[in-house]
Amino acid sequence: MEQSSKAFVKKQKLPVGIVTVIALFAILYAWDAQQLAPMFSNIGTGALMSAVALGVVLTFRGSGVVNFANGVITVFVAYWYYGFKVEGRLYVPPLPNPFVLIEIPVNWFRDEGKYLDLPNWPTSIDLPGDRLTTATAVVLALVVAVLLGLFLHFAIFKPLRNAPVLAKVVTSVGLFVVLQEFIRIRFGELAKTGVPFPLPKGKIDLPGELGIVPKNQLFLVIVVTVIAVGLWALFKFTRFGLATRAAAENEKGAIVLGFSPDFLAGANWVLSTLIAGLLGILASPITNLDTITIPLLIVPALGAALLANFTSFGLTVAAGVGIAMLQGWIQYQGAQTWFPKGVLPTAGLTQALPFFVVVVAMYLRGKSLPVRGSVSVGKMPFASAPKNVIPFTIVASIVVLALLFGWNYEWRQSTINTLVAVVIALSLVVLVGFVGQISLAQMAIAGTAGFFMSKYFDDLPFPLAPIIGAFVAAIFGVVVSIPALRLRGVNLAVITLSVAVAIEQLIFKNKTFAGEVGALPVKPPEIAGKDFGPNNTLLRVAGLKGRDDIPPNAWFGVICLVFVIILCLMVVNVRRSNTGRQLLAVRSNERAAAAVGIDVARTKILAFGLAAFVAGLGGTLSGYRFGSVTPQYFGAFASLTFLSFAYLGGIASVSGAVVAGIVAPNGLNFNFLENILHLDQGYATLIGGVGLIITAVQNPEGLAGAPRLVKQRQIDKAVRKKAMAERSKVEASQREGST
Amino acid sequence: MRSNKIRFVAGLAVLGLLVGACSEDDESVAPTIEAPTSEAPTSEAPSDDLPVQQSSIDVSLAYTGGPGGAASGDPIKVGFVNQEGGTPAFPEATFGIDTAVWFINNYLGGVGGRPIELVKCFVTKEEDGLKCGQEMLANDEVQAVITGTMLSGNQPLLDTLKDKKPVFIGNPVTTPEFLASDGFALTPGSPGVVQGLAIFAAKYVPELEGKEVKKVAVVYQDNAAGTIAFTALTKPILEMFGVEEVTGVPVPDTAGATEMATAIQSSGAATADVFYPLVTVQGCIGIYDAIKTLEITTTVVTTGLCFGVPMQDHLKSVGEEGDLPDGWYFGGYGFAYEIPGNPDLDSYIDAAFAYAKEEGIENPEYTGFAGPTFATLMTLVQFMNGGSLDSESLRADVKAFVGPMWAGVGDFKCGGNPTFPSLCGFSIGIQQQQGTEYVSILDGYNGKAINPVEEMAALAG
More confident residue, A200 or A511: A200
Q: Pick the residue from chain A with its C-alpha nearest to B16.
A: A101
d(CA A371, CA A160): 17
The pLDDT of residue B226: 85
Q: Which of B84, B126, B266 sits opposite A632 (nearest CB)?
A: B126
Burial class, B179, CB count within 10 angstroms (exposed 0-12 / middle 13-18 / buried 19+)? middle
Q: Pick the residue from chain B with its C-alpha nearest to A107.
A: B23
Pick the last residue of a domain from A584, A608, A633: A633
Burial class, A338, CB count within 10 angstroms (exposed 0-12 / middle 13-18 / buried 19+)? exposed
Say if B69 falls within a structural domain. yes
Burial class, A613, CB count within 10 angstroms (exposed 0-12 / middle 13-18 / buried 19+)? buried
Task: Please list every residue in chain B whose beta carbon sits closer than 8 Å to the beta carbon of residue A511.
Answer: 227, 231
Task: Please list every residue in chain A whose beta carbon sits closer than 8 Å to the beta carbon of residue B87.
Answer: 189, 191, 290-292
Domain co-membership, B138 together with B101: yes
Instruction: Report residue A292: phi and psi, to 5°.
Output: -120, -50
Confidence of residue A374 (pLDDT cuts 50, 70, 90): very low
Contact B17 A96 (CB under 8 A): yes
Say if B48 falls within a structural domain. no
Kindly tell me if the per-residue pLDDT of A596 is higher than 80: yes
Domain co-membership, A487 together with A524: yes
Contact A347 B222 (CB under 8 A): yes
Task: For residue range A450-472, list pLDDT tens digits in order.
Answer: 999 999 998 999 999 999 999 99
Q: How much is the average pLDDT of B428-436?
A: 93
Q: Which of A44, A535, A677 sits opposite B258 (nearest CB)?
A: A44
Mutate which: B3, B17, B254, B314, vs A, most A CBs within 10 A? B254
Q: How much is the average pLDDT of A130-148?
A: 91
Domain co-membership, A144 together with A279: yes
Range(s) of the domain holding residue B166: 54-188+343-400
Say if A20 falls within a structural domain. no
More confident residue, A543 or B419: A543
User: How far away is chain A from the Cα of B419, in angstroms, using its nearest Cα?
Assistant: 15
CA–CA–CA angle A143, A145, A149 (5° rounding): 120
Confidence of residue B100 (pLDDT cuts 50, 70, 90): very high
d(CA B320, CA A196): 15
Kindly tell me if the per-residue pLDDT of B46 is higher than 70: no
Q: Domains in chain A: how many in total?
A: 3
Q: Who contacts B239 (Cβ-Cβ below 8 Å, separation ≥6)?
A: B246
Say if B318 falls within a structural domain. yes
Domain co-membership, A620 together with A710: no
Helix, strand, coil percentages (3-state) for chain B, rounded to 5, are 45, 15, 40
Domain co-membership, A362 together with A396: no
Mutate which: A100, A206, A510, vs B, most B CBs within 10 A? A100
Contact B249 A627 (CB under 8 A): no
pTM of the model: 0.82
Say if B10 falls within a structural domain. no
Q: Taking a C-beta distance cutoff of 8 angstroms, is the pair B228, B175 a contact?
A: yes
Task: Please list every residue in chain B whose beta carbon sits closer than 8 Å to the beta carbon of residue A346.
Answer: 249-250
Residues 320-359 of chain B whose Cβ lies under 8 A from any Cβ of chain A: none
Task: For residue range B437-452, list pLDDT tens digits in order.
Answer: 999 999 999 999 999 9
Q: Who contacts A161 (Cβ-Cβ below 8 Å, separation ≥6)?
A: A63, A64, A261, A262, A265, A374, A375
Of B348, B373, B339, B308, whose CA–CA distance to B173 is shortest? Answer: B373
Inform me whether the C-beta atom of residue B1 falls under 8 Å from chain A C-beta atoms.
no
Domain co-membership, B396 together with B436: no
Task: Please list every residue in chain B whose beta carbon sits closer than 8 Å to the beta carbon of residue A37.
Answer: 265
Q: Taking a C-beta distance cutoff of 8 angstroms, is the pair A63, A268 a contact?
A: yes
Domain co-membership, B294 together with B315: yes
Kindly tell me if the per-residue pLDDT of B25 is higher than 50: no
Confidence of residue B80 (pLDDT cuts 50, 70, 90): very high
Q: Taking a C-beta distance cutoff of 8 angstroms, is the pair A611, A484 a contact?
A: no
Task: Please list every residue in chain B whose beta carbon sits closer than 8 Å to the beta carbon of residue A680.
Answer: 22, 85
Of B412, B272, B401, whose CA–CA distance to B333 is shortest? Answer: B412
Kindly tell me if the per-residue pLDDT of B11 is higher than 50: no
Q: How much is the average pLDDT of B378-402?
A: 95
Say if A296 falls within a structural domain. yes
Q: Pick the residue from chain B with its C-alpha nearest to A519.
A: B224
The pLDDT of residue A2: 59
Domain co-membership, A53 together with A202: yes
The pLDDT of residue B3: 46
The pLDDT of residue A378: 58
Confidence of residue B1 (pLDDT cuts 50, 70, 90): very low
Burial class, A44, CB count within 10 angstroms (exposed 0-12 / middle 13-18 / buried 19+)? buried
Say if A280 falls within a structural domain. yes
Inform me whether the C-beta atom of residue B182 falls under 8 Å from chain A C-beta atoms.
no
Residue A589 amino acid letter: N
Q: How much is the average pLDDT of A639-666?
A: 88
User: How far away is chain A from the Cα of B297, in angstroms, using its nearest Cα?
Assistant: 15
Say if B419 falls within a structural domain. no
Distances (CA, A) of A609 to A427, A470, A474: 10, 10, 5
Say if B12 falls within a structural domain. no
More confident residue, A183 or A620: A620
Domain co-membership, B134 together with B199: no
d(CA A598, CA A581): 10
Inform me whether the C-beta atom of residue B38 falls under 8 Å from chain A C-beta atoms.
no
Distances (CA, A) of A191 to A284, A683, B151: 11, 20, 16
Tell me what the pLDDT averaged over chain B comes to: 86
Domain co-membership, B358 together with B381: yes
CA–CA–CA angle A505, A510, A516 (5° rounding): 125
Pick the last residue of a domain from A633, A651, A684: A633
More confident residue, A325 or A249: A325
Task: For residue range A546-564, list pLDDT tens digits in order.
Answer: 988 888 999 999 999 999 9
Percent of chain B with pLDDT over 70: 89
Pick the last residue of a domain from B363, B383, B400: B400
Task: Please list every residue in chain A whose beta carbon sits closer than 8 Å to the beta carbon of residue B224.
Answer: 516-519
Task: Please list every residue in chain A whose beta carbon sits closer than 8 Å to the beta carbon of residue B174.
Answer: 517-518
Contact A101 B17 (CB under 8 A): yes
Domain co-membership, B179 together with B194: no
Q: Which of B89, B134, B261 sits opposite A189 (nearest CB)?
A: B89
ipTM: 0.78
Say if A19 falls within a structural domain. no
Q: Taking a C-beta distance cutoff of 8 angstroms, is the pair A691, A206 a contact?
A: no
Say if B88 falls within a structural domain. yes
Q: Which of B156, B257, B286 sits opposite A626 (nearest CB)?
A: B156
Residues 96-155 of chain B whose Cβ lies under 8 A from any Cβ of chain A: 124-127, 130-131, 133-134, 137-138, 152, 155
Residues 44-73 of chain B whose Cβ lies under 8 A from any Cβ of chain A: none
DSSP-assigned beta bridge partners for residue B206:
none
- For residues A363, A326, A56, A143, the Cα torsion angle rounded to the nearest 10 degrees is 170
Domain co-membership, A135 together with A213: yes
Contact B130 A45 (CB under 8 A): no
Contact B254 A185 (CB under 8 A): no
Kindly tell me if the per-residue pLDDT of B162 is higher than 60: yes
Contact B155 A292 (CB under 8 A): no
Q: Pick the residue from chain A with its C-alpha nearest to B252.
A: A347
d(CA B422, CA A556): 30
Say if A576 falls within a structural domain. yes
The pLDDT of residue A341: 67
If you count residue pairs, one on A and one on B, with CB atoms under 8 Å apart, how many are there? 260
CATH number of the domain residue B250 falls in: 3.40.50.2300
- For the ranges A72-81, A139-148, A192-201, which has the lowest average pLDDT? A192-201
Task: Please list every residue in chain B whose beta carbon sits closer than 8 Å to the beta carbon of residue A44.
Answer: 257-258
Mutate which: A34, A80, A184, A189, vs B, most B CBs within 10 A? A189
Confidence of residue A637 (pLDDT cuts 50, 70, 90): confident
Domain co-membership, A192 together with A276: yes
Inform me whether the C-beta atom of residue B175 falls under 8 Å from chain A C-beta atoms.
yes
Kindly tell me if the per-residue pLDDT of B28 is higher than 60: no
Task: Please list every residue in chain B whose beta carbon sits closer than 8 Å to the beta carbon of residue A633.
Answer: 125-127
Q: Which of B17, B247, B289 sits opposite A97 (nearest CB)?
A: B17
Say if A115 falls within a structural domain. no
Q: Domains in chain B: how many in total?
A: 2
Instruction: Report residue B221: phi and psi, to 5°.
Output: -80, 140
Task: Please list every residue in chain B whose beta carbon sits closer than 8 Å to the beta carbon of residue A94.
Answer: 21-22, 24
Range(s) of the domain holding residue A723: 704-739
The pLDDT of residue A107: 73
Domain co-membership, A334 together with A408: no
Domain co-membership, A624 together with A720: no
Q: Taking a C-beta distance cutoff of 8 angstroms, is the pair A161, A261 a contact?
A: yes
Inform me whether the C-beta atom of residue B271 falls under 8 Å from chain A C-beta atoms.
no
Domain co-membership, B377 together with B303: no
Q: Which of B19, B26, B127 sits opposite A677 (nearest CB)?
A: B19
d(CA A10, CA B73): 84
d(CA A405, CA B131): 18
Domain co-membership, B357 together with B310: no
Q: Pick the residue from chain A with its C-alpha nearest to B138.
A: A550
Task: Please list every residue in chain A whose beta carbon sits closer than 8 Å to the beta carbon of residue B231.
Answer: 511, 516
Kindly tell me if the per-residue pLDDT of B20 is higher than 50: no
Pick the last residue of a domain from A368, A402, A421: A368
Domain co-membership, A486 together with A626: yes
Domain co-membership, A564 together with A466: yes
Domain co-membership, B315 together with B454: yes
Q: Which of B22, B159, B252 sits opposite A680 (nearest CB)?
A: B22
Tell me what the pLDDT averaged over chain A comes to: 85
Domain co-membership, A350 together with A400: no
Domain co-membership, B173 together with B298: no
Task: Please list every residue in chain B whose beta carbon sits closer than 8 Å to the beta carbon of residue A78.
Answer: none
Inform me whether the C-beta atom of residue B314 falls under 8 Å from chain A C-beta atoms.
yes
Inform me whether the C-beta atom of residue B249 falls under 8 Å from chain A C-beta atoms.
yes
Q: Which of B19, B130, B255 sits opposite A100 (nearest CB)?
A: B19
Contact A100 B293 (CB under 8 A): no
Domain co-membership, B90 together with B177: yes
Task: For residue range A150-195, list pLDDT tens digits in order.
Answer: 999 999 888 887 777 788 888 888 899 889 888 888 887 777 877 8
Domain co-membership, B160 together with B203: no
Say if A663 falls within a structural domain. no
Percent of chain A with pLDDT over 70: 93
Beta-carbon count within 10 A of A722 CB: 10
The pLDDT of residue B26: 39
Contact A409 B176 (CB under 8 A): no
Say if B59 falls within a structural domain. yes
